[in-house]
Amino acid sequence: MSNSDKTTSLEASFVDAFEAYAGKPPPANAPMPVNGLAPLNAMQGFRRQAMERFRELGIPSRKNEAWKYTHIPEALARGFAVFTGGSIPDPGAAETAQCALAGLDAHIVVLVNGRFASEHSLIGNLPEGVAIGGLGTAASTHPDILRNHFGRYASWEEESFTALNTAFASDGLFVYVPKGKVIEKPIHVINLQKTNERLFLQPRHLLVFEGNTQAKIIDTSCALTGDATFTNAVTETFVGERAMVEMYLVQDPGNDHAVVSTTHVYQDAASTFTAATVTFTGAVVRNNLNVLPNAPHCETHLYGLFLPSGATQVDNRTLVDHAQPDCVSNELYKGVLNDRASGVFNGKVFVRQDAQRINAFQENKTIVLTNEATMNAKPELEIYADDVKCSHGATTGQLDPEALFYLRSRGMTKQQAQGMLLHAFAGDILNRISIEPLRRMLDERVTRLFGE
Amino acid sequence: MPTTETEFLHEVAAGEYKYGWETNVEADTIPKGLDEDVVRLISAKKDEPEWLLAWRLRAWRHWEKLAANPEEKYPRWPHLKYTEPDFRNITYYSSPSKKPRYESLDEVDEDLLETFKRLGIPLAEQEKLAGVAVDAVLDSVSVHTTFKEELAEQGIIFCSFGEAVQEHPELVQKYMGSVVPYTDNFYAALNAAVFSDGSFCYIPKGVRCPMELSTYFRINQAGTGQFERTLIVAEEGSYVSYLEGCTAPMRDENQLHAAVVEIVAEAHAEVKYSTIQNWYPGDNEGRGGVFNFVTKRGICKGDHAKISWTQLETGSAITWKYPSVILKGDRSVGEFYSVAFTKGRQQADTGTKMVHLGKNTKSTIISKGISGGRSNNSYRGLVKINKGAENARNFSQCDSMLLGDRCGAHTFPYIEIKNPSAQVEHEATTSKIGEDQMFYCFQRGIGEEAAIKLIVNGFCKEILAKLPMEFAVEAQKLLDIELEGSVG
């Protein structure tokens, strides 16, 4: 009983924050929030609806099937102030620099507490028509793009966190790549967190890649200050006809930071979308990755690697919604659970009626290292078309004792042998990363984690 | 040729129910409705002792609480779409003929015997030839038990549940509700309150049951729910193979079947439970058909115990069934082999739960789903490895086959692991009959229908082979009949 009371008060705090925020004019010095702009005036009513829906849905508890293994109310119980703008702290150039990836030549976008910080970003030269910046300013520079894409893919009717984000959405990453443009260098998004109070952050990203474009995006997080944060991020991605997009999400914010990251990807005909999500730390990390290949001949690759330790909970939920025929999707999630960590993999392949000739594969492999660690897997298939090839596999176990013995018989310590095998296990995912400096960084991080 | 193949599959999917007729046996039926008086009336009709009535009433009160809060308590999580039955508009007790017990076959109604004959279980013949002891349950009261005396010589008790309550109350009291308590779920509570009869089987220590024990269930009376309870207790080192088969005559409205099966296997005991279920699935528009909400669970109580579930599910409009094993004893083994075939507008949400508690426990799940017509066929399974279950091992395989483009095949496995030494594997595939496979058959002069039967049978062979001999033949026939259209 006391638990549900707490939950109610949790929701009430968001409702109060919304009332205070929605009635408040945007601060003069801050980037213009989306709702203050003419093309999106209609947003005002939209936000209220989203807030209403959030109030109805509530913060998901473990009674909710989709959140059954992840303890969100507990993670929120510490109390977070909803960040709605105001002054953005200056992270400092030196500190920002340390969050960059060594040896990576990229268009660097810095977001501080979910707000675009142009003075710290190093976007550099871009092909004509390409825009990389904040969503807040994009509302005035690219109103048509926002009108056509914003809020179109991330449906908030059934997801309370998406509804909440939609109600508060004001800034985040904005990328627009017009038809036929190729961005050679990767776009590196650095999410900086700098705060002296416990903040609830809600960045909202919109990425639009029109037909025949190519781009690679790296998203990393960097916590500069002590206090805990809870991030509720929503990303909408449009991948146009024959476009090729790669997205890498690296989650290593430290164990004081909770993350709910929801990504919706819409794929147009013959496009290719690749995502890799690598998680090391976090209080609670929940990744919702929803891909809708909504035209024939799409290709979708989803990779995930989760290596939590301590008391970290990592919950990966993916949905590939095959609405149209002749598509291919391939999914591989691997995890190693140490200490008291818990891992969840809930992958769903959905094939709608008449989406024939789908070839979908899904695999999840997990190694549990300790008695206290827990793994919950729920790989699902929901198929309504007959001419398909769909399969999934899930395994959970420990390192192969014979392989360990082999290495030890060659003079390795147990730790070394174990480290080597775990490294090789993770290598399956790391080797799919096409950006060399990123792959190297992750490889070193994995080496540090498991020992040589 | 794909067009005729499609046609054939359509015909298969539209195939009519072949067991639909009604036996005109005079029945002793109580009025429709559900309240405490009904529970008391059923108990009184069966002349039950006080403790059993008290247990029923506790279950009834629990169910009332659940039913008062359907939003939370009614199981809505399965992948099924149907109108919930009106529990207050069902007859909860129906007994064939005024005189419920028979001593020999001669006393049994002609019509009744005819029913069994048409079902393909000539009771008299089986008595002599097959060596199968049949405890036939028609509606709610056990009609005839064969081979009882022969079994009794070895100390095996095989009788109707009602008889067991009268004659072996200490055993019933000890084990009833120990595996599936009435608080387990909505239907288990309902069953505990209003169960009418069922089978009871007790195998004493060290005894290997010399024959397959078998029960046939039939729902006959219009608008009656069948709520039977089966309790199987296998003492240390014993073995029993138990068969259950079901058919129901054709009915327009939905009939409700909410059974409970409990199995207790002590150390080194082995219980093999096989089911063929072909209740009336409803017509092609989805009218009528049986709602089959069954709770089946076994517990491997002692070390080295083994429980094995094998099922062939071809009937029922709605199937909600998860035969489970709790692996409590060290080195105990749980198995689940299933073929679920749906067509027309049938919906099935079935699978298993394997709960590993003991050390070195092992479980195997092999599930084959075939869906045609506009049916939906889901596998839902749970493999749970608890903290203390060192070196637990599970292998799960779920294959689905789609016979049309308007049906659905789904897999919802849950894998929960709390021990690092566990080794758990799960794999699932979904596909249709390959054009290359069909081509290969055509090439060799095998007709379309025969080819489909051949391929489907091959797809299920692994499971059917697990059934006891007599059943395997019947199962294969049943599957063929189910696949049969008007072609040939």
CA neighbours closer than 13 Å in the CB half-sphere of residue B54:
4
pLDDT digits (tens, 9 = 90+) for A329-353: 999 999 999 999 999 999 999 999 9
For A159-174, what is the mean pLDDT? 91
Model confidence at B137: pLDDT above 70? no
**3-class secondary structure, B359:** coil
Domain coordinates in residue numbering, chain A = 2-295, 401-452
For A220-249, what is the mean pLDDT? 92
Q: What is the pLDDT of residue A37?
A: 41
Model confidence at B130: pLDDT above 60? no
Whether chain A has a CB inside 8 Å of the CB on B389: the answer is no
Determine the length of chain B: 488
Q: What is the pLDDT of residue B198?
A: 83
For A426-439, what is the mean pLDDT? 95
Q: Which helix (H) or strand (E) holds B167?
A: helix B161-167
Q: CA–CA distance from A410 to each of A404, A405, A418, A451 (Å)?
A: 10, 9, 13, 18
Measure CB to CB from residue B411 to each of A374, A377, A380 and give the nearest one.
A380
Q: Are A108 and A219 in contact (CB under 8 A)?
A: no
| Chain-chain contact of B415 with A389 (C-beta, under 8 angstroms) | no
**What gap in Å lies between CA B229 and CA B258, rounded to an integer?**
9
Q: Are A164 and A202 in contact (CB under 8 A)?
A: yes
Neighbours of A4 (CB within 10 A): 12
* More confident of the two residues A260 and B33: A260
Q: Are strands A257-267 and B423-432 parallel, antiparallel or unpaired?
A: unpaired
Residue B430 C-alpha, separation from nearest chain A C-alpha, in angstroms: 5
Q: What is the pLDDT of residue A6?
A: 43
Whether chain A has a CB inside 8 Å of the CB on B164: the answer is no
pLDDT digits (tens, 9 = 90+) for B209-250: 988 887 655 555 555 567 889 999 999 999 999 988 755 555
Q: In this predicted structure, which of A61-75, A145-159, B125-139, B308-322 has the lowest mean pLDDT?
A: B125-139
Nearest residue in chain B measured CA to CA from A395:
B425
Return the structure tokens found at B244: 């259950």
| Chain-chain contact of B430 with A388 (C-beta, under 8 angstroms) | yes
pLDDT digits (tens, 9 = 90+) for A103-116: 999 999 999 988 89
Q: What is the pLDDT of residue A31?
A: 43
Nearest residue in chain A measured CA to CA from B410:
A382
Buried b (16+ CB within 10 A) or exposed e, B196-230: bbbbbbbbeeebebebbbbbbbbbbbebbbbbbbb
Averaged pLDDT of chain A = 88
Looking at the whole model, is its pTM more than 0.90? no
Model confidence at A227: pLDDT above 60? yes
For A185-193, what is the mean pLDDT? 94
pLDDT digits (tens, 9 = 90+) for B113-122: 565 565 555 4
Whether chain A has a CB inside 8 Å of the CB on B426: the answer is yes
Return the structure tokens found at B54: 């008290």
User: Which one of B374, B414, B417 would you mutate to disrupt binding with A, by most A Cβ within 10 Å of its Cβ?
Assistant: B417
For A179-207, what is the mean pLDDT? 92
Q: What is the pLDDT of residue A24?
A: 54
CA neighbours closer than 13 Å in the CB half-sphere of residue B5:
20
Contact residues for B483 (Cβ-Cβ < 8 A; gap 6+): B12, B15, B449, B452, B453, B456
For B346-358, what is the mean pLDDT? 95
Contact residues for B444 (Cβ-Cβ < 8 A; gap 6+): none
**What gap in Å lies between CA B422 and CA A366, rounded to an integer?**
11
Q: What is the DSSP letter of B83?
A: P
For B35-55, what is the mean pLDDT? 90
**What gap in Å lies between CA A243 and CA A320, rounded to an integer?**
18
E strand residue ranges, A48-202: 81-82, 107-112, 115-116, 131-134, 173-177, 187-193, 199-201
pLDDT band at B99 (very low <50, low <70, confident <90, very high): very low
For B310-321, what is the mean pLDDT? 89
Q: Are A190 and A111 in contact (CB under 8 A)?
A: yes
Q: Are B312 and B479 in contact (CB under 8 A)?
A: yes
Model confidence at B126: pLDDT above 90? no
Model ipTM value: 0.83
Q: Are B423 and A397 in contact (CB under 8 A)?
A: yes
E strand residue ranges, A117-253: 131-134, 173-177, 187-193, 199-201, 204-209, 214-223, 229-239, 244-251
Whether chain A has a CB inside 8 Å of the CB on B428: the answer is yes
pLDDT band at B20 (very low <50, low <70, confident <90, very high): low
Largest Cα–Cα separation, chain B: 69
Q: Are B396 and B423 in contact (CB under 8 A)?
A: no
Nearest to A279 by CA among A260, A299, A298, A301: A260
For B447-453, what is the mean pLDDT? 87
Whether chain A has a CB inside 8 Å of the CB on B404: the answer is yes
Largest Cα–Cα separation, chain A: 71
Nearest to B389 by CA among B411, B415, B418, B368: B418
Contact residues for B277 (Cβ-Cβ < 8 A; gap 6+): B245, B246, B292, B311, B312, B313, B314, B315, B316, B319
pLDDT digits (tens, 9 = 90+) for B379-413: 999 999 999 999 999 999 999 999 888 899 999 99
Q: What is the pLDDT of residue B486?
A: 25
Q: What is the DSSP letter of B405?
A: S
Phi first, then psi, for residue A272 (nearest 5°) are -125, 125
Return the structure tokens found at B88: 């207050």
**What gap in Å lies between CA A426 and CA B429, rounded to an integer?**
25
Nearest residue in chain A measured CA to CA from B370:
A386
CA neighbours closer than 13 Å in the CB half-sphere of residue A36:
17
Q: Are strands A257-267 and A229-239 parallel, antiparallel or unpaired?
A: parallel
In percent, the amount of chain B with pLDDT more than 90 equals 43
Measure CB to CB from residue B415 to each of A65, A388, A394 and give the nearest one.
A394
DSSP notation for A405-452: HHHHHTT--HHHHHHHHHHHHHHHHHTT---HHHHHHHHHHHHHHH--
**What gap in Å lies between CA B380 and CA B426, rounded to an integer?**
12
Q: Are strands A204-209 and A173-177 parallel, antiparallel or unpaired?
A: parallel
Please report residues of A whose CB lies closer than 8 A to that of B389: none
Give the type of residue at B463: I
Nearest residue in chain A measured CA to CA from B382:
A378
Q: Are B408 and A384 in contact (CB under 8 A)?
A: yes
**3-class secondary structure, B63:** helix
Residue A418 C-alpha, separation from nearest chain B C-alpha, in angstroms: 14
- Residues 45-104 of chain B with CB under 8 A from chain A are 77, 79
Nearest to A92 by CA among A289, A205, A267, A224: A224
| Chain-chain contact of B400 with A381 (C-beta, under 8 angstroms) | yes
Give the type of residue at A65: E
